[in-house]
A and B are shown apart, each in its own frame.
Chain A
Amino acid sequence: MLVKNLIPLAAGALVAMAIAGGASAATLVYCSEGSPENFNPQINTTGTSFDAAFHVYNRLVEFERGSTKVVPGLAESWTVSEDGKTFTFKLRRGVKYQSSNTFKPTRDFNADDVLFSINRQWKADHPYHKVSGGSYDYFGDMDMPKLLKSVEKVDPYTVKVELNEAEAPFIANLAMDFATILSAEYGDVLMKAGTPEKMDQEPIGTGPFRFVSYQKDSMIRFQAFDQHWNGKPPLDGLVYSITKDPAVRYAKLKAGECHVMPYPNPADLPKMREDKDITVLSQEGLNIGYLAFNVQKKPFDDKRVRQALNMAIDKKAIVDAVYLGAGVAAINPIPPTLWSYNTSIRDYVFDPAKAKALLAEAGFPNGFETDLWAMPVQRPYNPNAQRIAEMMQADLAKVGVKAKIVSFEWGEYRKRAQAGEHQMAQLGWTGDNGDPDNFMYVLLGCAAARPGGSNIAKWCHKPFDDLLVAAKRTPDVAKRTGLYEEAQKIFKEEAPWFTIAHSVVFKPIRKEVVDFRISPFGRHQFDGVRLN
């Protein structure tokens, strides 16, 4: 289907170029925010690095551009066994690898490349495992070592993956950046030449753009890959002009020195909207900012207290004052862009009188004293945790709750919150794979409620957890949707969190950029984009 879409696009771009008098080839300049660590997403953790390598590679499955939907990539199709533990992938034939000055591929993509890419991260005895530091954080974070039982090549175009337990979100994991497919042949060539680390610095993949050059802190250049299996992308060239300061990125966008910029200063947005050369795209981010109540500590073990506090804090005031139009009030623990978001759930209404009554009922007519943790850093889902904490503190004081604001250095903060040292703590999450499991199971499941786990409410509620586990076990999306919708109801009733907001992501682009879509994952994707 994508091929069908791309052909008219490419044709349109050619026509446009012809009209423009065959002007210089269509090169899009993207003012990126920083330098990548390297060009292999398997060993990266930052969005900046993922962006820089994204177009060079493909994955077995891909996220559809601008959505969280998983579509075929290098795997044309796949089947899942009855028990949900065995995945069989049919690989696409005739997929070419890019070439460079040092490497000319002699064969097409096949199952060996899939095994190479997974085993490099998985098997400690793989010749590439220790190359470039050998740290595969995302592979570990997504629990792949625990999940994978075996990965086998059935024939050159069939790969069978067996899991230790049924895990429906596994497919979505394979669309993530860490699941990038490298070239095993390139690996062999480099190993023989004694320069294996070049694999991560001079990338070769099957993606829509070929890597040309990189100058640290300055520029990354890509060229359209003519032989891409999905057709040559409409753009001829792609340049990342590394520009760290948002005000300067804006100036470059205005001056026409770049076409797309990420992470604008919120204060610049009104001006950008007035500019006739600039379009500001926006989308709710795949994230959530929240205040977690530690249910293992008094008085938050009492549901009524948690509900009362949900009513005592003026959420709208916080979203208006702190997010400055770049956030929407959060009701559920997952963002509205995610499938299975339950739209029927109503949020607690801000009502201090009712909150006070509920507190009295729970045995705290005069309120109580508590701590209130605020992150020391700005995060995508929370632009100013300190300010939010101050506003919450003021609201809580009105119902008699005296909150003391506490903060630590970021690493320390996270560690202590995960250990459960707090009574109330702000934190948040940005989704990895567009699966509700990636929010709910990771942040609210019983397994994560252990000391050190990422469920910082330390809330383990069996009826809720059972739903999540059941949803993990079935690959049927309709069934899973029902389970997650039910789970969200329980979540709201039990109120382990005060859900604060989902941030809104803004992308200012120049008017001549056509069909740029905001990625829910924060990626910047240019393979279907055209320039007028």
Chain B
Amino acid sequence: MLRFILTRASLVVPTFLGIMLLSFVLIRLVPGDPIEVRMGERGITPERHAQLLHQFGLDRPLWQQFASYVGQVAQGDLGVSIITKSPVIKEFAALFPATLELGLSAILFAIVFGLPAGIVAAVRRGSAFDHGLMGISLTGYSMPIFWWGLLLILLFSVQLGWTPVSGRLSAMYFVEPKTGFLLIDALMSDEKGAFRSALRHLILPTIVLGTIPLAVIARMTRSSMLEVLNEDYIRTARAKGLGVFRVVGLHALRNALIPVVTVIGLQVGTLLGGAILTETIFSWPGIGSWLVESINRRDYPVLQGGILLVASLVMLVNLAVDLLYGVLNPRIRR
């Protein structure tokens, strides 16, 4: 097990460097620099342009910029935003809890509904429920997030008035961010009703962001369960006269979960991608819209730092998923 962890961990370093290089080069391939992008019709004199480039160290050869960037990162410094002048790590720390809260809530939603739906569909293979579920999940999977989000807003927020349109909290409440997780902060604050407001604000974004993972998890669970249910040992268990719940819930599900857990792990990447759109639609103050804006503004340090942090998280989650296999299936542990 230890060797397994070490092998996996040793792969992290080159991946890390690769991501750094990629994010560093890609943003610089986009035409325009951070200075020019900010200027309006008036433009900027070449002298002033050069002066500002120099100030941000952008006038040095690319390899030098990269080398000093790597050195900086090695010391745990991700630099300072060109636009807001505040440290990238500080901005990330302020915004990431919002993304995490939404992401966790979405994946929870996807698991809670996707897993049972997939199991039932597998057990009742060929039934109307099975066909219905597969149809719906295919629809959910192919739903453009932007359209889906606006549709839900128009129906539930504007027409029915059940949920708020966007944001994380009603303007009526003022909750001091302590943990950054608004549900927790609201619970801890003295503001009555803030928790309920935060929860209500979370509903639609959760559904929108959780739809694709929900569809994937339901489908994966179903096919994995079907495979396992056809195994000899399940037939044996049934022949021994075990109840349906014991057969499906204990013997089949545990083995069927391995590919499902893999898929859930992979969904983390999808979630972060989806979060960018979901956050934009719901004015959710997370890292998604922060990163998009950094591209528009050519805010190199923010984009590089942001991508690096997000990529590190995805790598960590995947590592955790690998380790989870061992817990689910003792054979892998050996």
Residues of chain A whose beta carbon lies under 8 Å from any beta carbon of chain B: 24, 27, 29, 34-35, 37-38, 45-46, 132-133, 135, 137, 140-141, 197, 201, 213, 215-219, 221, 239, 241-245, 247-248, 251-252, 254-255, 257, 379, 409-412, 414-415, 418, 427-430, 442, 452, 454
B153 CB contacts on chain A under 8 angstroms: 248, 251
The one of B32, B85, B283 that contacts A412, using a Cβ cutoff of 8 Å: B32
B40 at the interface (CB under 8 A from A): yes
Q: Which residues from 44 to 99 on chain B have a C-beta closer than 8 Å to any C-beta of chain A? A: 45-46, 48, 52, 55, 83-86, 91, 94-95, 98
Check A239 against B165 for contact (C-beta < 8 Å): no
Check A411 against B165 for contact (C-beta < 8 Å): no
B157 CB contacts on chain A under 8 angstroms: 251, 255
Stretch of B167-175, B236-244, B253-261 lying at the A interface: B167-175
Check A37 against B43 for contact (C-beta < 8 Å): no
Residues of chain B whose beta carbon lies under 8 Å from any beta carbon of chain A: 31-33, 36-43, 45-46, 48, 52, 55, 83-86, 91, 94-95, 98, 150, 153-154, 157-158, 161, 164-172, 174, 177, 280-286, 289-290, 293
Check B283 against A243 for contact (C-beta < 8 Å): yes
Docked Cα-Cα span, A34 to B172, in Å, equals 20
A239 CB contacts on chain B under 8 angstroms: 171
B48 CB contacts on chain A under 8 angstroms: 140
Check A430 against B40 for contact (C-beta < 8 Å): yes
Check A252 against B166 for contact (C-beta < 8 Å): yes
Check A247 against B171 for contact (C-beta < 8 Å): no
Check B158 against A255 for contact (C-beta < 8 Å): yes
B161 CB contacts on chain A under 8 angstroms: 255
Docked Cα-Cα span, A218 to B282, in Å, equals 10
Cβ distance A160 to chain B, nearest Cβ, rounded Å:
29
Check A428 against B41 for contact (C-beta < 8 Å): yes
Check B283 against A241 for contact (C-beta < 8 Å): yes
Check B177 against A24 for contact (C-beta < 8 Å): no
Check B32 against A245 for contact (C-beta < 8 Å): no
Check B171 against A27 for contact (C-beta < 8 Å): yes
Q: Closest B residue to A375 by CB, please name it.
A: B41
Check A251 against B154 for contact (C-beta < 8 Å): yes
Docked Cα-Cα span, A147 to B285, in Å, equals 42
Docked Cα-Cα span, A430 to B167, in Å, equals 31
A255 CB contacts on chain B under 8 angstroms: 157-158, 161, 164-165
Give the dominant DSSP class at B's interface.
Answer: loop
The one of B38, B171, B174, B283 that contacts A217, using a Cβ cutoff of 8 Å: B283
The one of A37, A201, A245, A254 that contacts B280, using a Cβ cutoff of 8 Å: A245
Docked Cα-Cα span, A221 to B167, in Å, equals 14
Check A245 against B167 for contact (C-beta < 8 Å): no
A252 CB contacts on chain B under 8 angstroms: 165-166
A133 CB contacts on chain B under 8 angstroms: 55, 85
Q: A215-B285, A255-B165, A415-B36 are in contact. List 5 more A-B contacts (CB 8 A).
A: A137-B39, A251-B154, A257-B164, A410-B36, A418-B43
B46 CB contacts on chain A under 8 angstroms: 452
Check B172 against A24 for contact (C-beta < 8 Å): yes
Docked Cα-Cα span, A111 to B171, in Å, equals 38
B36 CB contacts on chain A under 8 angstroms: 410-411, 414-415
Are A245 and B41 CB-contacts (below 8 A) given A135-B52, A218-B167, A219-B171? Answer: no
Cβ distance A48 to chain B, nearest Cβ, rounded Å:
11
Docked Cα-Cα span, A252 to B150, in Å, equals 12
A35 CB contacts on chain B under 8 angstroms: 293
A429 CB contacts on chain B under 8 angstroms: 41
Check B38 against A415 for contact (C-beta < 8 Å): no
Docked Cα-Cα span, A458 to B286, in Å, equals 46
Check A430 against B32 for contact (C-beta < 8 Å): no
The one of A29, A37, A251, A412 that contacts B83, using a Cβ cutoff of 8 Å: A37
B55 CB contacts on chain A under 8 angstroms: 133, 135
Check B283 against A251 for contact (C-beta < 8 Å): no
Docked Cα-Cα span, A254 to B281, in Å, equals 16
B41 CB contacts on chain A under 8 angstroms: 379, 414, 427-430, 454
Check A216 against B150 for contact (C-beta < 8 Å): no
Cβ distance A319 to chain B, nearest Cβ, rounded Å:
20
Docked Cα-Cα span, A415 to B31, in Å, equals 13
Cβ distance B126 to chain A, nearest Cβ, rounded Å:
42
Check B84 against A218 for contact (C-beta < 8 Å): no
Docked Cα-Cα span, A243 to B166, in Å, equals 8
Check B37 against A244 for contact (C-beta < 8 Å): no
A-B contacts, 15 listed (Cβ < 8 Å)? A132-B85, A201-B86, A217-B283, A218-B98, A218-B168, A239-B171, A242-B283, A243-B283, A245-B280, A248-B166, A255-B161, A379-B41, A410-B36, A411-B33, A411-B37
Cβ distance A499 to chain B, nearest Cβ, rounded Å:
15
Cβ distance A287 to chain B, nearest Cβ, rounded Å:
10
A414 CB contacts on chain B under 8 angstroms: 36, 39, 41, 43
A242 CB contacts on chain B under 8 angstroms: 283, 285
Check A243 against B167 for contact (C-beta < 8 Å): yes
Q: Which of A213, A218, A239 has the largest count of B CB atoms less than 10 A from its CB? A: A218
Cβ distance A513 to chain B, nearest Cβ, rounded Å:
15
The one of A27, A140, A217 that contacts B290, using a Cβ cutoff of 8 Å: A217
A454 CB contacts on chain B under 8 angstroms: 41-43
Check A213 against B174 for contact (C-beta < 8 Å): yes
Cβ distance B26 to chain A, nearest Cβ, rounded Å:
16
Q: Closest A residue to B94 by CB, please name it.
A: A216
Q: Closest A residue to B168 by CB, please name it.
A: A218
Q: Which of A135, A242, A411 has the largest count of B CB atoms less than 10 A from its CB? A: A411
Q: Closest A residue to B175 by CB, please name it.
A: A215
A248 CB contacts on chain B under 8 angstroms: 150, 153, 165-166, 281-283
Check A254 against B83 for contact (C-beta < 8 Å): no
The one of B85, B94, B169, B290 that contacts A38, using a Cβ cutoff of 8 Å: B85
Are A244 and B289 CB-contacts (below 8 A) given A216-B91, A251-B153? Answer: yes
Q: Which of A215, A241, A430, A442 has the largest count of B CB atoms less than 10 A from its CB? A: A215
Docked Cα-Cα span, A45 to B83, in Å, equals 10
